[in-house]
Amino acid sequence: MKNLEDILMKKPIFLTGNKNKLAEAREILPFAFDNKNLDLDEIQSIDGRKVIGHKLDEAYSKLKRPVFVDDSALHIDSMNGFPGALYKFLDKAAGLEGICKMVTALGKDRNAQAVTHIGYFDGKTKKFFEGTIKGTISKTPRSGSGFGFDYIFIPKGSKKAYSQIPIEEKNKISMRVKALNKFAKYLIQ
């Protein structure tokens, strides 16, 4: 059993410069944490755990405090799981509309999984927590508000993309909330 007070006295640091991820984490996590936007090396891999594992090591060596990182990925079935953790690079190169066109050009399979990995490192123990949501890629980007692939990912059972779902509702069903809840449970148990 971990001593929660000891952990939280050192307030874990959430490493992100993404204000949207930060807002969602503040809404979801039941404890206070600090935030830093460090310039960290990001290894290139389709595997989100490898990407954040490297970031955790580098950040802890600089800060000497418990740290956690979020990395979200989009695995498109018709692309054999690509782009995965490399999503932001594909979005930068092709844009949301381009990604939708690629999926259309590959055939009828529009299935995808949105995955969030949360990594935590306290200097001794490194833990990973994953949240996955199955869904589909829309034929064209949708309206609304959000970030990343929110405009093209439609969670299973919905006709709306994440960008069209109110944030309060999204924060109950998203892959990020699943991963953050597992992380919170780990710290509190």
Residue 161, C-beta contacts closer than 8 angstroms, at least 6 positions apart: 138, 141, 142, 144, 146, 150, 151, 152, 153, 154
Work out the angle at residue 10's Cα, subtended by the Cα atoms of residues 21 and 64, and round it to the nearest 5 degrees. Answer: 85
- Contact (CB, 8 A) for 80 and 124: no
Q: Tell me which residue has tokens 């936007």.
A: 37
- Contact (CB, 8 A) for 70 and 21: yes
- Contact (CB, 8 A) for 141 and 96: yes
Strands 67-76 and 83-84: antiparallel
Give catalytic residue positions.
71
Distance CA 167, CA 164 (A): 9
